[in-house]
């Protein structure tokens, strides 16, 4: 199965905690890939930036797929982050 982690970069104030947890997931949890799903609203873009920074800090690299979902629930776009 897949694990799920939920975050809101707008409402949660300590971004460094997110970065530390993401780096630990990448380096220590043995995951093979990461999928980031954000809504089309501007504040969700911060989550993608956190993942990009975590990839820079991590010792391992892995493929990251990003999905952008509209406010009506439809997938608007999909793209990959080099990892």
Count of domains observed in the chain: 1
pLDDT of 83 > 80? The answer is no
Helices vs strands, H then E, count in the chain: 2, 3
Q: Which domain holds residue 41?
A: 15-81
Please give the model's pTM, rounded to 2 decimal places. 0.87
Q: Is residue 39 part of a domain?
A: yes
How many Å apart are CA 16 and CA 12, to the nearest integer?
11
- How does pLDDT run across 56-71, given as a tens digit for each residue? 999 999 999 999 999 9
Please tell me the distance from the alpha carbon of residue 34 to that of residue 45, in angstroms, as a whole number: 16
- CA 61 and chain centroid, separation: 14
Q: Assess if residue 2 is contained within a domain.
A: no
Tokens representing 60 are 């391992």
pLDDT digits (tens, 9 = 90+) for 16-29: 999 999 999 999 99
Position 45 in a domain: yes
Residue 80 has pLDDT above 80, yes or no: yes
- Is residue 10 assigned to a domain? no
**Euclidean distance between CA atoms 51 and 35, whole angstroms:** 10
Q: Quote the distance between the C-alpha of residue 9 and its chain's center.
A: 11
Residue 7 located in a structural domain: no
């Amino acid at each position: 199965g897949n694990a799920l982690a939920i975050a809101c970069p707008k409402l949660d104030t300590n971004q460094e905690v997110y970065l530390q947890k993401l780096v630990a997931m990448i380096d220590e949890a043995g995951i093979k890939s990461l999928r980031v799903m954000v809504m089309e609203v501007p504040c969700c873009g911060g989550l993608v930036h956190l993942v990009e920074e975590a990839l820079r800090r991590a010792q391992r690299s892995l493929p990251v797929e990003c999905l952008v979902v509209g406010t009506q629930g439809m997938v608007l776009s999909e793209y990959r982050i080099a990892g």
